[in-house]
Amino acid sequence: MATYPETLDYLFSLHRFGIKLGLEAITDILARLENPQRGYPTIHVAGTNGKGSSSAMLASILQATGYRVGLYTSPHLIDFRERIRVQGTDISEESVCALIEQIRRTANPLTTLTFFEFTTALAFLHFRIQQVDIAVVEVGMGGQFDATNVLSPIGALITGIGFDHEAYLGNSLQMIAREKAGIITQKAPVVLGPMPEDILQIFETQARKWLAPCFRMGHEFSLLETSATTFTYQGPRWTIPGLQTNLLGRHQMVNATNALALLETAV
């Protein structure tokens, strides 16, 4: 079996294939791995800003309430293993090596997997082996054709919309929103963070198409600031006063409010 540095060298060499939007390759490799992503409930998180913090908050709250939680995010800051965590612990070097070898042996030799497709398959497989109760999965880029969009989540969170990856997602906020709206699925609640009304309507239209209950910040749930560092969450049923975040800034209150709305409506 390859060493951890050798395994990383192989993974990062896949960047030469660039970004490939589409679900054919990831669907194929997951089927060959017996669809590990179907072995546990998932929460899908997209958005231009705040999706990483919101994903981490979701995982932290779920873990604190007794769930065994998988968390898949990107990019990493220092070590590749940060992308894939169970109960707040990074995947081990040994698991990375063993599972990457398994995926390489299993993959269709006529199909070229990108770095992100390989990493996504690795995360889903690791979560099944670790027998998580639930996994929080952050979209890599966009939504509709992102490799993570093979999930049938119990709920989705779209934190907000801004300009990002225009070469792939489109050069207007409306085009980017339509891409991210692709993670909305049949009857699964979707939580929408603060965004302009015309952008909000794009998500509302997609939610109606899929009969997905839609919860919008400032409408069905709200952030009520009580001081510079504390706030109250007001949701459809829950009212939680005296909340604080470990990180400063109103945007972190927004992220926490989004996370709580998703937990209230989907879990």
Q: What is d(CA 115, CA 117) in angstroms, rounded to the nearest whole number?
A: 6
3-state SS class at 62: helix
CA atoms within 13 A on the CB side of 151: 32
Q: What is d(CA 100, CA 118) in angstroms, rounded to the nearest whole number?
A: 8
pLDDT tens for the chain, 267 residues: list them.
899 999 999 999 997 766 677 899 999 999 999 999 999 999 999 998 889 999 999 999 999 999 999 999 999 999 999 999 999 999 999 999 999 999 999 999 888 899 999 999 999 999 999 999 999 999 998 778 899 999 999 999 999 886 654 444 546 788 888 989 999 999 999 999 999 999 999 999 999 999 999 999 999 999 998 888 899 999 999 999 999 987 778 889 999 999 999 999 998
Contact (Cβ atoms closer than 8 angstroms) between residue 251 and residue 258? no
User: Side by side, which strands form the sheet with 42-46?
Assistant: 89-90, 84-86, 69-72, 134-138, 42-46, 155-158, 190-192, 214-216
pTM of the predicted model as reported, rounded to 2 decimal places: 0.94
> What domains does the chain contain, in order, with CATH numbers?
4-215 (3.40.1190.10)
